[in-house]
Structure 1
Amino acid sequence: MVELQKAWVYKEYGKFQDVLKLDEIPVPEVTPDQVLVKVEAAALNPIDFKRGLGYFSKTDSPLPTVPGYDVAGVVFKVGCEVSKFKEGDEVYGDINEYSIDKPKQWGGLAEYTAVEEKLLALKPRNLTFAEAASLPVAVETAEQGLEQANFQKGQTILVTGGAGGVGSQVIQIAKEVYGASLVATTASTKKLEFVKSLGADVAIDYTKDNYEELPKKYDVVYDTVGDYPKCIKAVKDGGKVVLISAYGDAPAINLGLVADGKILTKLAPYFEQGKVKPIIDPKGHFKFAQVIEAFAYLETGRATGKVVVSIGE
């Protein structure tokens, strides 16, 4: 059994370029319902650096902290109550059931991490570890938002920020899984063709048009960029607005993600058939030694899809 591992750790809150360091820490022990994952790849999320800045300090786990939510890797050890996985299985998932309420002290930007069985799923065979790691937070957020909005086949949806990590998945899942009759999205000029390639029927250039002033209204508006209350103006009477980066009053749904491996299992056929695809930024694939650079790129807000780190290379 490996006793020590390399991991990215911060011992105080602050900007990651100042506080995040590559260090050696003990490999975590597994509880009966956990598996120990040898991490092959991890994806970065805005919540990682927001947590690092201390935004959630009142509900955070104690410092020091290894950041990281999304992981993909190989099961190295299983707890005594684990029944779904065995050593050698390739798995992936969001390792924190609740994003800001006591997330794990020892996260995914490490060689090994301990994860509850219920948060994981078997990795689709057609996906690389990096591709799989890019999915959990984004697709689980997309799926739970659509589910809570009671989105139905034949309905219309507007997605703000369709080129981003969550937005790119909402477009695909609304179209391919839920059967949306029309998907509209906002994007910058240079990303309009990209969001159309994901399945968007209408691509609105937010540098030229104010979507909330256009005549078309939608059954659901899924806001990934914090556009409340502008997005309220784009929804039909009786429609729903899903918010993940802002908080608002009814009819807004303030989504708090609850990670669940069952969602990944449900969506597996769509991944395996290529109907819902992982989206990794062309410049957003980094090595384990480049985590600081990876976060710097994520924080520009310009990434198309997800930023990922390969750990097992």
Structure 2
Amino acid sequence: MASLTPRLFVPSTMDAWVYEDYGSPEKVLKLKSDVPMPEVNDDQVLIKVVAAALNPVDFKRMFGFFKYTDSLPPVRYGIAVVEVKVDFGTLAEYTFAEERMLALKPNNLSFTAAASLPLARETAHEGLERAGLTSGQSILILGGASGVGSLAIQACSLIQCLAKHVFGASKVAATSSTSKLELLRSLGADLAIDYTKENIDDLPEKFDVAFDTVGQCCEALKAAKEGGKVASILPGTTVPPAFEFVLTSKGSVLEKLKLPVLDPKSPFPFTKAVEAFSYLQTGRAIGKLVIFPIP
């Protein structure tokens, strides 16, 4: 999440996390000063960054998983409040985005909370929308305690379901490890499934929609009814007839931000970005990790 700063008062250089080669965050991610400010076009807004969320796609991109479609390093790292050009992210003092992709931060959310929401919230909403979830259908969310998974379950409070109350789902089920089952229930899941103890093949029912947020496409396919839809947010992991999608960000969706689920370790200070990425890579994070404050 960010605040707008008049161009008149912006310095010529900034502090930013940069990587100049592909590899693990511990080896390639460096904090540098005197990084040139981004050049902003007439249809773009220069943004003073206050807080930034980390996403699994961030370290995967750093490892080079998407190097054939991304810009080449050096990269000013981080995912923006909305998706922006790959070579400038939000682990920096300033970034930019097209005006149509922005929305004001709600007054009732802190910068830490607001920064955690956009990418995951938009992905959750678009995934359910593209899967064609309609009133009366059932859904299984694989990775219910992830940033996207938790927001796919919840809505305005921790006991409401986005899938239920926006899309009209008849039953919402979600998977997680044992320690996160109560979180799923508190978010509004009707059925919390412990993937460490229960096999998807052994579930007594199949689902109209399976939404994979953690790279378990084969399990999602097993859980779907014949003719059901399987959506995945992980590029390169889908198996037909499942489908993956590329998020299309727009400011109007950001205006519908809800309550986030933040990992207890959040926020990490700006100087501890490498440590934050290391923790994210363990797969033990709950909800979202946020860097705050950004000087």
Q: Same fold (TM over 0.5)?
A: yes
State the Cα distance separating 1:167 from its structure 2 match: 0.7
In 2, are the aligned partners of 1:159 and 1:221 still within 8 Å (CA)?
Answer: yes
Superposition CA RMSD, Å: 1.4
Q: Structure 2 stretches of 5 or more lacking a match?
A: 1-9, 155-161
**Separation of aligned partners in 2, 1:122 and 1:177:** 22
**Separation of aligned partners in 1, 2:244 and 2:94:** 33
* AA matched with 2:174: T
| From 79, 82, 94, the counterpart of 1:94 | 82
SS of residue in 2 equivalent to 1:281: coil
Structure 2 partner of 1:237? 226
In 2, are the aligned partners of 1:175 and 1:183 still within 8 Å (CA)?
Answer: yes
SS of residue in 2 equivalent to 1:138: helix
Residues 1:209 and 2:198 aligned together: yes
State the Cα distance separating 1:32 from its structure 2 match: 0.8
Residues 1:219 and 2:229 aligned together: no
Deviates more, 1:38-47 or 1:61-70: 61-70
| From 1, 5, 9, the counterpart of 2:18 | 9
Structure 2 partner of 1:31? 41
SS of residue in 2 equivalent to 1:6: strand
**Separation of aligned partners in 2, 1:248 and 1:261:** 31
* AA matched with 2:177: S
State the Cα distance separating 1:62 from its structure 2 match: 2.9
Structure 1 partner of 2:178? 189
Deviation readout 1:285-310 (Å, 9 max, x if unpaired): 20101101110110111000011001
Structure 1 partner of 2:77? 67
State the Cα distance separating 1:120 from its structure 2 match: 1.5
Q: Structure 1 stretches of 5 or more lacking a match?
A: 71-92, 97-102, 272-276
Structure 1 partner of 2:239? 248
Deviation readout 1:236-282 (Å, 9 max, x if unpaired): 222111112221212x12122222222212x24xx2xxxxx211101
State the Cα distance separating 1:149 from its structure 2 match: 1.0
**Separation of aligned partners in 2, 1:176 and 1:35:** 34
State the Cα distance separating 1:159 from its structure 2 match: 0.4
Share of identical aligned residues, percent?
Answer: 52
State the Cα distance separating 1:224 from its structure 2 match: 1.1
State the Cα distance separating 1:116 from its structure 2 match: 1.0
* AA matched with 2:239: G
**1:98-137 pair list within 5 angstroms:** 103-137=85-119
In 1, are the aligned partners of 2:136 and 2:169 still within 8 Å (CA)?
Answer: yes
| From 170, 174, 197, the counterpart of 2:163 | 174
Residues 1:56 and 2:38 aligned together: no
Structure number with higher strand proportion? 1
* AA matched with 1:47: V
State the Cα distance separating 1:6 from its structure 2 match: 0.5
* AA matched with 2:211: Y
In 1, are the aligned partners of 2:16 and 2:77 still within 8 Å (CA)?
Answer: no
SS of residue in 2 equivalent to 1:139: helix
Structure 2 partner of 1:21? 30
**Separation of aligned partners in 1, 2:15 and 2:285:** 27
Spell out structure 1 runs of 4+ moving beyond 3 A: none
Q: TM-score, normalised by structure 2?
A: 0.90
Q: TM-score, normalised by structure 1?
A: 0.85
Residues 1:43 and 2:25 aligned together: no
* AA matched with 2:58: D
State the Cα distance separating 1:175 from its structure 2 match: 2.7
Structure 1 partner of 2:6? none
Deviation readout 1:136-156 (Å, 9 max, x if unpaired): 111111111111111112221
